[in-house]
């Protein structure tokens, strides 16, 4: 009994530092943001308790533009699920067959994930440059001058242009997760299906996809919550412009905190983002839940 108690105490002592860091760095800021969201405060002076007014103002005031920013983030999430994940799955299925040089392709596709987001933003700024950017130069060289645009400077194209670098950066990340899942499928399952006359598409649909369903769920959660929290690439490429066309909740939050000195409102946006991420994670978990669960 004494030895069992000693082992439990040892486990608790080893877990305690990580638990304290988790509580201080992740959990505590959530509750602090929720607390400050009930105040009108500039971050330095006296706080004035205003209850739920910040939340009401977010969804009713056109001057803040939170509804527009949230709509942009949800559109990015939809594009990530509809474009990024199918592309990653297609690449993973192709490489999972044991193609020649698959490790080289894995490294190439995963490389953008390792590059700093700021560097990627600067790279795509050069690609989109209206004068000497690779995209417009290629269009003009093909005689398609009418298609050349100020991609990040027009309201109609800015959000789509900002999504392309996000797609390029993270498609390799999701592909690697799915590839690992596909490689873990027992080869005898595939062989038995092929012997029974199943085509490649049928093997993928009825054997591989159900087997990697947990990984598909994780990738979907990462894609949606990552889009809701998107900040760095948007900030580098457009800083929410032009005319708030690419504004997302994170860039709006930074604007409230550091440009408009509305710390209470910024905390409200941060707290709502956390709630939205948790909510979508739960919804996606329910969608992917097996009947047995």
Question: Which CATH number belongs to the domain containing residue 130 in this structure?
Answer: 1.10.3720.10
First-to-last C-alpha distance (Å) of the chain: 37
Please state, in angstroms and rounded to a whole number, the distance separating the CA atoms of residues 121 and 238: 10
As a whole number of angstroms, the distance between CA 154 and CA 175 comes to: 32
pLDDT at position 210 is: 92
Query: CA dist 104 to 85, 111, 167, Å?
Result: 21, 11, 20
In a domain, 191, yes or no: yes
Give the model's pLDDT for residue 8.
Answer: 78
The residue segments making up the domain with residue 201 are 37-287
- CA–centroid distance for 282 within its chain: 16
Q: Please give the distance of CA 207 from its chain centroid, rounded to a whole number.
A: 28
**In-domain check, residue 235:** yes
Q: Is the peptide bond before 242 cis (omega within 30 degrees of 0)?
A: yes
Tokens of 202: 């049928």
* Per-residue pLDDT, 88: 96
pLDDT of residue 291: 56
- 268 part of a folded domain: yes
User: Is residue 11 domain-resident?
Assistant: no
Whether 9 maps to a domain, the answer reads: no
Domain count, the chain: 1
Please, which residues have CB within 8 angstroms of residue 79's CB and are 6 or more apart in sequence?
163, 167, 227
User: Looking at the domain assignment, is residue 46 inside a domain?
Assistant: yes
User: Is the pLDDT score of 63 beyond 90?
Assistant: no
- On whether residue 27 sits in a domain, the answer given is no
What pLDDT was estimated at residue 193? 86
Say yes or no to pLDDT of 3 above 80. no
What was the pLDDT predicted at 101?
A: 81
**Alpha helices of the chain — where are they, by DSSP H?**
2-22, 28-36, 53-60, 66-79, 85-95, 102-114, 117-128, 134-141, 155-183, 187-195, 200-203, 209-211, 213-228, 232-237, 249-254, 263-287
pLDDT digits (tens, 9 = 90+) for 160-172: 999 999 999 999 9
Residue 15 lies in a domain: no
pTM: 0.90
Over the stretch 64-119, which tens digit does the pLDDT of each residue have?
899 999 999 999 999 999 999 999 999 999 998 877 888 888 889 999 999 999 99
User: pLDDT tens across 13-34, in order?
Assistant: 888 999 999 999 989 999 999 9
């Amino acid at each position: 009994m004494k030895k069992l108690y000693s082992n439990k105490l040892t486990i608790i002592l080893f877990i305690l530092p990580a638990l304290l860091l988790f509580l201080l760095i992740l959990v505590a800021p959530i509750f602090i943001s929720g607390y400050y969201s009930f105040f009108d405060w500039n971050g330095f002076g006296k706080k004035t308790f205003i209850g739920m007014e910040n939340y009401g103002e977010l969804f009713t005031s056109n001057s803040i533009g939170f509804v527009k920013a949230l709509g942009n983030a949800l559109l990015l999430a939809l594009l990530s699920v509809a474009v990024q994940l199918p592309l990653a799955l297609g690449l993973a299925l192709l490489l999972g067959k044991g193609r020649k040089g698959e490790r080289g392709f894995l490294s190439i596709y995963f490389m953008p994930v390792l590059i700093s987001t700021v560097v990627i933003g600067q790279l795509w700024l050069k690609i989109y440059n209206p004068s000497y950017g690779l995209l417009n130069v290629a269009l003009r060289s093909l005689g398609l001058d009418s298609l050349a645009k100020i991609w990040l400077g027009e309201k109609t194209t800015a959000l789509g242009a900002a999504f392309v670098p996000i797609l390029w950066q993270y498609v390799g990340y999701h592909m690697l997760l799915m590839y690992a899942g596909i490689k873990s499928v027992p080869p005898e399952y595939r062989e038995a299906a092929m012997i029974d006359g199943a085509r490649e598409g049928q093997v993928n649909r009825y054997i591989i996809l159900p087997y990697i369903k947990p990984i598909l769920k994780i990738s979907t959660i990462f894609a949606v919550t990552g889009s809701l929290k998107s900040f760095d690439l948007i900030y580098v490429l457009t800083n929410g412009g032009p005319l708030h066309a690419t504004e997302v909740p994170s860039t709006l939050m930074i604007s409230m905190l550091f440009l408009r000195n509305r710390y209470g409102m910024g905390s409200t946006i941060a707290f709502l983002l956390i709630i939205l991420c948790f909510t979508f994670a739960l919804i996606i978990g329910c969608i992917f839940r097996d009947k047995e669960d």
